[in-house]
């Protein structure tokens, strides 16, 4: 069975059993503690935690997942991979252990001719948590297996928890026996022998005092017992396709085949090469899927992970002997296989390819620069008579310059050197431990939504009327302060207020929350912020500006600031217009990756690998203004996510959308169609104006456009007009001639600056001539060691070289420039003095030790600096003593 058929049968099996098919969420996790979705249950986490009410009792999904903690082990074993697909079926308080076991066993063992997977029952072994006698009894009852065929395992293997207080429960896994060639009989810890491919989590316990994932207290039973299962698609694929591991399945091995053609190497002939082939197959696919979901390469977070994956793939091809650009040859192969399921890969291919290939080009330049840095480090090692490159140097090459350790090892061997690998690995381990500590510190930072959950359960969802009105008569449902309920807030105090109905827009989709006031009998509140801490509940952060607010206050009137809302609508519709204009000018692959808008201002981030030209920015602004002038109609409608995509609506990367109903906003019909929950104008002309104020980089492969809209846009243009007016008055010219007039002034200024620089240099060199006459004879060597106040950097070097050129016998020069409290050092020694053993490098290092600095270079010219001027005279005297010591031998 090919992978797509395995996937199809899984979904069909559970749909037939009353499960709602839920499409994969983006691989970008909305959970602040996660970079990526690491398991199929993550999109359903709010339901398991009781933060949201599930819209269905049963669900089935095939979720895109990425796990990267073991990235260094990818390819070294056949179990580790970064991107994978997790098939899961879920029950939210509906069926429990018995039905979960029945459904899993039926699909796994049912003959392929009947729609199942056809695994032989005599090769299957269920495992259970050692204390879960109920599960043992159910497995026996449902499968008829004898007691000895059911493995009992401990907490590490068969108890599920998130590592924080909350739900948990025992697990049952389905293992397949691959035979004695993969390990000893009955050794269930040997994963290659008894391979786990399906995990059934029986979520039944409420965990407290969680000290680790295996050390916790069970406070009691959950009020609703849930089922969360995870089945590894790639594992089932390689077992049903008769191959050895996940890298050889139908959606991955074609990449290895192409890599073999390019490199001339053969998979299966050499273990080290096999590791590299697997890295290529895994990382090419993972990178493509990450870029498809909107990740761009960067130096931190998700972008850093993507950068590592891409560079490891390129590096592995280089180690296989292929040094030409590899991704344009490999990634289309992966696309053709994965697009059978994920059609958006084909639709977005231009963007995906541009990001991936651009990163490879950048890395190839990095390799070139890193090679030069390595060569310098290797030269220093050899010059010192050593044969080992320090672990610190290898780590700096890896961490600072992105230079892979494998290449460092390879190049060191070519030069007859070895690398201090233990030192390098220790530094890498320290880095990983710091990362783990940071991640652990973030654990438990889930906002405690218990109080909000209670409000929602008691009162139902907020009646949200932001699309319909700017005012509502409302009733208080809860008053909160410091994370808990309070009876009153006094004047000047800040708290949270939950109303039964509200006209206020809660911050979401890049749009800032509404501003306004809430009046009540005897007082007024200023609305500072509006949020949705859990789905369905709107919470207002308020400050009491008049009176005292009680939890049962009467006569509440919630009023959105009309001016604020108008500006917000203009900015949000303006964002859609700029996005459409951007795609019209640059092409459909220029997709928005993030946005923010508040009244009168918008910014839009989009994936692009190079700066826009002034002409492109101007054209984007012109297309936007034409859309406003055309008075395009703005409309919105509700439909399923699938219908919206078929309609051509654009979804923002990383956003989570309700598959049962989404809101599509269109401007000018198909010209701009986007999924959006924001507030908008009714016609594009109501935006007023769009003035682009800037375009800049916000990271590798990502750009940002900023603009003003409405009155703020006119104000910006008015300020520019005032500046132009002031300049034309000052320069006594007309606006049309202003640029030429300023350019003429700049040219004249540059000419004057050059004249001043020539005069300054002449004066400086004249001082150098005077220094020659003051040279001190030290054992037949003319030594000039002088302090020059007001000189720095290039001036000091110029002076030192000039003085050296004027010495007509063995000579050594050390100039110490002092400016702004810093010392600039340059040493220059002519050939005759070097023959006597005098070195500029030694002189600069000597003076550097006196001025709290350092430096170095070659024997003829060296330079450095320092920050302590107090011992400079002593240091210059030491120069004479050093020359006397060396030349007197």
- Per the CB < 8 A criterion, the answer to whether 616 and 703 are in contact is no
Q: What are phi and psi of 345, to 5 degrees?
A: -65, -40
- Is 680 assigned to a binding site? yes
Q: First vs last Cα of the chain: how many Å apart?
A: 85
Q: Is 14 in a helix, a strand, or coil?
A: helix
CA distances from 176 to 108, 112, 127, 186, 761 (A): 11, 17, 11, 12, 82
Q: At what angle do helices 327-338 and 349-383 cross, to 10 degrees?
A: 140
- Per the CB < 8 A criterion, the answer to whether 693 and 708 are in contact is yes
Judged on CB neighbours under 10 Å (0-12, 13-18, 19+), 396 is middle
Of 261, 289, 265, which is closest to residue 276 (Cα–Cα)?
A: 265
Q: What are phi and psi of 378, to 5 degrees?
A: -65, -40
182: left (phi over 0), alpha (psi -120 to 50) or beta: alpha
Residues forming beta bridges with residue 206, ordered by sequence position:
167, 220
Task: Provide the token pair at 277.
Answer: 């082939």
For 44-76, b where at least 16 C-beta lie within 10 A, e where not — what string? Answer: bbbbbbbbbebebebbbbbbbbbbbeebeebbe
Task: Provide the token pair at 278.
Answer: 């697997």
- Torsion sign (Cα): 419, 423, 429, 432: negative
Residues whose CB is less than 8 angstroms from the CB of residue 329 and which lie 6 or more positions away in sequence, other chains included: 258, 262
- Per the CB < 8 A criterion, the answer to whether 118 and 109 are in contact is yes
- Torsion sign (Cα): 166, 457, 510, 544: negative
- Torsion sign (Cα): 259, 265, 270, 276: negative
Task: Look at the block and give the residue holding tokens 């701009």.
Answer: 672
Of 677, 628, 675, 683, which is closest to residue 652 (Cα–Cα)?
A: 675
- Is 171 assigned to a binding site? no
- Per the CB < 8 A criterion, the answer to whether 682 and 693 are in contact is no
- Is 579 assigned to a binding site? no
Residues whose CB is less than 8 angstroms from the CB of residue 127 and which lie 6 or more positions away in sequence, other chains included: 150, 151, 152, 153, 157, 158, 171, 172, 173, 174, 175, 188, 196
- Is 676 assigned to a binding site? yes
Dist CA 158 CA 167 (whole Å): 15
Dist CA 534 CA 461 (whole Å): 10
CA distances from 224 to 47, 227, 476, 831 (A): 11, 10, 30, 88
Judged on CB neighbours under 10 Å (0-12, 13-18, 19+), 233 is buried
Dist CA 849 CA 851 (whole Å): 6
Dist CA 565 CA 557 (whole Å): 17
For 778-798, b where at least 16 C-beta lie within 10 A, e where not — what string? Answer: beebbbbbbbbeebbeebbbb
Pick out the residues of the known binding site: 572, 576, 676, 680
Which residues fall in the annotated binding site for Zn(2+)?
Answer: 572, 576, 676, 680
């Amino acid at each position: 069975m090919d992978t797509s058929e395995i996937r199809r049968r899984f979904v069909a099996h559970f749909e037939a059993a009353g499960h709602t098919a839920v499409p994969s969420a983006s691989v970008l996790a909305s959970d602040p503690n996660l970079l990526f979705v690491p398991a199929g249950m993550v999109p359903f986490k709010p339901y398991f935690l009781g933060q949201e009410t599930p819209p269905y009792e049963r669900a089935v999904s095939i979720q895109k997942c990425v796990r990267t903690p073991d990235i260094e082990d990818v390819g070294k074993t056949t179990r580790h991979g970064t991107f994978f697909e997790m098939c899961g079926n879920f029950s939210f308080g509906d069926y429990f252990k018995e039905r979960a076991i029945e459904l899993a066993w039926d699909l796994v063992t049912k003959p392929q001719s009947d729609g199942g997977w056809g695994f032989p029952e005599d090769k299957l072994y269920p495992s259970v948590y050692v204390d879960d006698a109920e599960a043992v009894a159910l497995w026996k009852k449902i499968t008829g297996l004898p007691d000895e065929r059911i493995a009992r395992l401990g907490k590490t293997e068969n108890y599920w928890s998130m590592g924080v207080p909350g739900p948990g429960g025992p697990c049952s896994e389905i293992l397949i026996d691959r035979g004695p060639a993969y390990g000893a009989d009955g050794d269930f810890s040997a994963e290659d022998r008894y391979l786990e491919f399906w995990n059934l989590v029986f979520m039944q316990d409420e965990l407290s005092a969680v000290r680790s994932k295996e050390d916790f207290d069970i406070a009691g039973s959950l009020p609703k017992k849930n089922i969360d299962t995870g089945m590894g698609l790639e594992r089932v694929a390689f077992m049903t396709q008769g191959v050895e591991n996940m890298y050889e399945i139908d959606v991955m091995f074609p990449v290895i085949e192409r890599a073999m053609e390019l490199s001339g190497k053969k998979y299966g002939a050499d273990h080290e090469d096999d590791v590299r082939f697997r890295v290529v197959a895994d990382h090419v696919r993972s990178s493509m899927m990450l870029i498809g979901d909107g990740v761009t390469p960067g130096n931190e977070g998700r972008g850093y992970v993507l950068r590592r994956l891409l560079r490891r793939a390129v590096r592995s091809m280089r180690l296989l002997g292929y040094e030409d650009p590899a991704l344009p040859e490999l990634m289309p192969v992966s696309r053709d296989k994965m697009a059978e399921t994920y059609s958006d890969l084909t639709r977005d291919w231009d963007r995906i390819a541009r990001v991936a290939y651009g990163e490879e080009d950048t890395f190839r330049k990095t390799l070139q620069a890193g090679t030069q840095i390595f060569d310098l480090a290797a030269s220093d090692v050899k010059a010192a008579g050593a044969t080992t490159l320090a672990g610190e140097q290898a780590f700096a090459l890896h961490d600072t310059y992105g230079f892979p350790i494998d290449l460092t090892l390879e190049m060191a061997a070519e030069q007859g050197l070895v690398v201090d690998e233990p030192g390098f690995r220790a530094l890498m381990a320290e880095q990983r431990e710091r990362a783990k500590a940071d991640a652990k510190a973030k654990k438990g930072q889930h906002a405690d939504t218990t109080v909000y959950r209670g409000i929602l359960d008691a009162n139902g969802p907020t009646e949200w009327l932001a699309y319909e009105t700017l005012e509502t008569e409302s009733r208080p449902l809860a008053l909160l302060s410091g994370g808990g309920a309070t009876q009153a807030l006094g004047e000047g105090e800040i708290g949270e207020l939950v109303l039964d109905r509200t006209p206020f827009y809660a911050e979401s989709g890049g749009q800032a929350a509404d501003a306004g006031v809430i009046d009540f009998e005897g007082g007024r509140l200023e609305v500072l912020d509006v949020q949705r801490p859990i789905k369905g509940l709107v919470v207002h952060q308020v400050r009491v500006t008049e009176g005292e607010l009680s939890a049962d206050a009467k006569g509440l009137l919630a009023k959105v600031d009309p001016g604020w809302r108008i500006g917000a609508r203009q900015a949000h519709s303006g964002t859609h217009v700029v996005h459409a204009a951007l795609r019209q000018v640059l092409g459909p692959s220029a997709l928005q990756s993030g946005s923010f808008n508040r009244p009168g201002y918008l910014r839009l981030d989009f994936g692009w690998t190079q700066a826009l030209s002034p002409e492109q920015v101007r054209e984007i602004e012109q297309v936007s203004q034409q859309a406003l002038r055309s008075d395009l109609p703005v409309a919105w409608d509700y439909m399923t996510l699938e219908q919206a995509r078929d309609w051509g609506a654009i979804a923002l990367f990383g956003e989570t959308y309700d598959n049962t109903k989404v809101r599509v906003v269109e401007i000018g019909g198909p010209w701009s169609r986007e999924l959006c929950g924001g507030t908008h104008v009714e016609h594009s002309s109501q935006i007023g104006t769009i003035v682009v104020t800037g375009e800049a980089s916000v990271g590798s492969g990502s750009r940002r456009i900023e603009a003003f809209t409405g009155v703020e846009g006119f104000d910006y243009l008015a300020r520019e007009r005032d500046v132009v007016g002031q300049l034309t008055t000052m320069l006594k010219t007309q606006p049309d001639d202003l640029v030429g007039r300023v350019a003429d002034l700049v040219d004249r200024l540059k000419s004057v600056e050059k004249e001043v620089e020539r005069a300054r240099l002449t004066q400086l060199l004249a001082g150098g001539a005077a220094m020659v006459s003051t040279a001190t004879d030290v054992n037949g060597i003319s030594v000039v060691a002088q302090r020059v106040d007001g000189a720095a950097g290039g001036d000091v070097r110029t002076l030192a070289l000039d003085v050296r050129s004027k010495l007509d016998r063995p000579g050594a020069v050390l100039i110490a420039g002092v400016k702004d409290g810093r010392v600039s050092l340059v040493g220059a020694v002519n050939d005759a003095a070097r023959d006597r053993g005098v070195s500029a490098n030694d002189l600069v290092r000597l003076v550097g030790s006196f001025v709290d600095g350092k430096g170095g270079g070659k024997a003829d010219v060296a330079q450095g600096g320092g920050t302590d001027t107090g011992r400079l005279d002593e240091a210059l005297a030491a120069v004479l003593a050093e020359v006397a010591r060396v030349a007197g031998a």
